Amino acid sequence: MKKISVSLSGHQTSITLEPEFFDTLKQIATARGISVASIINELDRTRAPETNLSSAIRVWVLQQVLSGK
């Protein structure tokens, strides 16, 4: 598991992801010319309140891979 520190709405938080998910997240961010933090911030803003942020990231990464984006 890989711990990621990111600032969400001005507050530092840690997210734990498997290395494969984090590496794929970085690849997607690089391909889009945006930062990993921007993706995480967007996912944090749009996820359902009952959804864990790490889970939301995993599902989003999987959806991106399956859709070929």
pLDDT in tens, 29-62: 999 999 999 999 999 999 999 999 999 999 999 9
Confidence of residue 4 (pLDDT cuts 50, 70, 90): confident
Contacts of 36 (CB under 8 A, 6+ apart): 4, 6, 25, 26, 29
Dihedral, 59, 61, 67, 69 alpha carbons, nearest 10: 160
Which helix (DSSP H) or strand (DSSP E) does residue 33 occupy?
A: none
Q: Is the pLDDT of residue 16 over 80?
A: yes
Give the right CATH number for 2-67 from 1.10.3990.20, 3.30.230.10, 3.40.50.720, 3.40.50.920: 1.10.3990.20
